[in-house]
Structure 1
């Protein structure tokens, strides 16, 4: 017979575990697709620009007032590498998912180039199980959070891996709930009258039949489903992790009718107005989630983290100006290692920790989300198979004045992007340390140096005037990539990998 003492002991332990679970914060990662640094009315620079005045994102402004805005936050040039880094804590040079994954497995997404081949990268994305060809095997963030007692929800775009591999299914990644996530990198349609492109076998958004032929735009449908999933978990009193990965603002450009006419009346072109309506619809989604948290008394114990997966789709010449967006004063856009392709709008709100209305200049990068979220969740010794490159930014959340000058941030895009010969859209690596940024053009075998403090637009190459800095950064970039066995592109002329950056300055 079990003694009363043992029963009371068990009840006390269960009660303590439940109390601990309630104290741990809920965590929301609100990730936007293809949103540029300037596609918001909340400025992330030292001044408000005409582009900031174009858009209406009152809820981003509201989140910034409540929390901390990061003015030097980075992702990767394209979507899947960013999502894999977020889910694994690995830099792109380590996980080697250096380009976006195609819907069918084993199919390259990189465009053909006349001089270089992109080598054997992990074109099938990431995998939560070993032995899948052309994938990086890693323990996903949601799996670790689920093991720690979190209710894990995926909503929206997944795009972690190619169709037919385990990583394409968010449920295999450790989520308890999957809303509309699969292998595709964008929706076939945002429109309910088109059933969100359901007829398209690869890019039709799955699982939203209840909204077919209504007036509910895709962004709104995902928001409603996400809030319903949170509500369903309330009785269990478990902390939740919501990965709210809106398909917006990725193409196709389709007007969100709730907001479209305002931008037409403002004098924007049809394409610009469609895009701006996608931005404002995304912002309304953020606001609806914030409203729910406040209404239900959950806001104080919930972390909300806003981020974009790469720069805005600022197309290169000959399409100048771009069809619907731009990143000025930043150079270039999606697909580039220049600032326009990788610098992102990032905001974190956590009432229990962050002083409202603060701004952090500390450079952070997408793989930093992984250790930061685990630390927020109180996961001290996660059992994972991968080595993590990211660093927790919790110290910055507690003190926005912190700034580390000696950390090296690295990007690697050994591919040719599909959009022409624009700046940085083919075969580049880059490193930032302090205010200095080194660009390695792998096709031209050239090094370019910029001082971002003085030249945020990367217009003035000062490598010739600063040979010592150029050489030091080239060596650090080479060492960083070499330690991670990076895949370098291969010259069609020689059949060998291109030179390391340090070899150009020996």
Structure 2
């Protein structure tokens, strides 16, 4: 009788578990929204129309100190593994099997980072290749504990020709358009959503309809949610949009919102100029992404019992673009008041918009200034799902933030580490935080160490969010203390280092003379 009673209780327990919609945007800067994530609204907030982000923020809690890696693959691998990028070693973006994506350096040879990405634990025994990190993936754990798991959109976990490129191998029951590609070849159905390495596959039925990619993904996600809702099974929807990654193509549903009657871009107070075509398209991509969020929320509300038991989490994977593809003063206007953008060690590259709504847990319309890091989502989502007993192949570095949701007045100190011993791309300035670097954020201070030059830059980000005033010379003791803590952490992670071209010796740690 006891055994039978236990068996009968399982469906009830499953129904009581919260559903989770994890809404991840690609390349969205912390200010590219009408929701202010700073101490006050900015001109950038006035440029964008994101009413559904406003709606979600009014329903839940807005985190103003959320961070990720400065590049897509490292963030996504940290999310699925709970590991710091220094530990999982997928430190740049992935695409081809056994091939790196680094741009060259004149002074150092870059380390052999894990360019094949993260791979599922179950593939260890029948996979014979290196330069990868085997993990117990987050969706696999959720699946094993009764969740119906859906990936919709961008995956970018593993290189081509590896198990990790296929979300179904990572614990997802359903894969909608996810593969090894780190961006869309095209958002346009007329162009079959791109071709070659960046083709977005599996959406052929939308070609003749002319459906914009963001909308096609939303329609697919809603369709696949109907099954677990009908079966009263808890679900995990990893809604991972390709938007707002380049190419900035026109989502004609929204481009008119950023143009006048003559088709000219509207005047923008941040730029002190009319928006150019690229910036019009960029803003429309943002609004199209926001519509997707609203459509998902509307669909859930059509199923009230489901909506009342569904957590919605919103975040981006790295900072917004700050380089020449964007209009304005490069590395200044795009993520203002933060400096630089995607790929940079500075705040413009790592600071993210984050909102959490958990029915009956989060308090509506609140703000939380505690710091959260991308690897924190691994233990947090499992705790939200009620998954208490689990084992992982990997060492989990993230810390759950569920206590911050349940106790909004709680304050805690966190020290964060970034490690990027790589060169992201050409044509960017090391002065703006690009290049091979490691960094630490502790208290009010952000220290960045550049491997190619051994320079250390220190900023008080509370007083100087734009990181324009390097105080490392004025604060030598603090600089050395932070360099020591950064180095100790990197050594503990067994982090990789570049080597000097001139003598083939490893570049010293930040704390070494």
1:291 paired with 2:275, answer no
Deviation track 1:101-141 (CA, whole Å, cap 9, x = no partner) reads 02x21111010111112111001101102253110010100
1:195-206 to structure 2, matched below 5 A, reads: 195-197=192-194, 200-206=195-201
Q: Secondary structure at the match of 1:415?
A: coil
Among 33, 54, 60, the alignment partner of 2:26 is 33
In the superposition, relative to structure 1, how do residues 394 and 48 fare at CA in structure 2: closer, same or farther (>3 Å)? same
Shift of the 318–226 alpha-carbon distance from structure 1 to 2, 3 Å rule, reads: closer
**Partner of residue 367, structure 1:** 375
What is the 5 A alignment of 1:225-264? 225-264=220-259
CA distance in 2, matches of 1:207, 1:160: 18
Contact map agreement 2:380 2:402 (CA 8 A) in 1:
yes
Name the residue aligned to 1:404. Answer: 412
Q: Which residue of 2 aligns with 1:477?
A: 486
Measured in 2, the distance between the counterparts of 1:212 and 1:362 equals: 44
**Contact preservation (8 Å) 1:189, 1:252:** yes
SS in 2 for 1:93: helix
Alignment of 1:206-355 (within 5 A): 206-265=201-260, 266-267=266-267, 268-297=275-304, 298-315=306-323, 321-322=329-330, 326-355=334-363
The residue that corresponds to 1:186 in the other structure is 183
Deviation at 1:425, TM superposition (A): 1.1
Count of residues in Structure 1 that have an aligned counterpart in Structure 2: 493
TM superposition shift of 1:320 = 5.8
1:95 to 67, 76, 88: 88
Say which SS state the counterpart of residue 404 (structure 2) adopts.
Answer: helix
Does residue 1:443 correspond to 2:452, yes or no?
Answer: yes
In the TM superposition, 1:34-49 aligns within 5 A as 34-49=27-42
Q: Which residue does 2:139 correspond to in 1? A: 142
Instruction: Work out the CA distance in 1 between the residues paired with 2:357 and 2:441.
Output: 26
Give how far 1:400 is off. 2.5
Q: Map residues 63-142 of structure 1 onto 2, 5 A cutoff.
A: 63-102=56-95, 104-128=96-120, 129-130=123-124, 131-142=128-139
- Residue 3 (structure 1) aligns with: none
> Runs of at least 4 residues of structure 1 off by over 6 A?
316-319
Q: Work out whether residues 306 and 346 of structure 1, in 8 Å CA contact, stay in contact via their aligned partners in 2.
A: yes
TM-score (norm 1): 0.95
Task: Give the conservation status (yes or no) of the 8 Å contact 2:110–2:499.
Answer: yes
Per-residue deviation, 1:11: 5.1
Alignment partner, residue 394 of structure 2: 386
8 Å Cα contact 1:317/1:421 also seen in 2? no
Note if contact 1:316-1:421 (Cα within 8 Å) is conserved in structure 2. no
Say which SS state the counterpart of residue 40 (structure 1) adopts: coil
Which whole-Å CA distance do the structure 1 matches of 2:55 and 2:317 have between them?
21
TM-superposed CA distance for 1:325, in Å, is 7.2
Residues of 2 paired with 1:239 and 1:451: CA distance? 44
Shift of 1:208: 0.6
Alignment equivalent of 2:162, drawn from 147, 165, 169: 165
Report the TM-score when normalising by structure 2. Answer: 0.93
Matches within 5 A, 1:414-429: 414-422=421-429, 423-429=432-438
The unaligned stretches of length 5 or more in structure 2 are: 261-265, 268-274
Whole-Å Cα distance in 1 between the matches of residues 278 and 443 of structure 2?
38
Q: Which SS does the other structure have where 1:304 is aligned?
A: strand
Aligned equivalents of 1:301, 1:317: Cα separation in 2:
41
Does the CA contact (< 8 Å) of 1:419 and 1:425 recur in 2? no
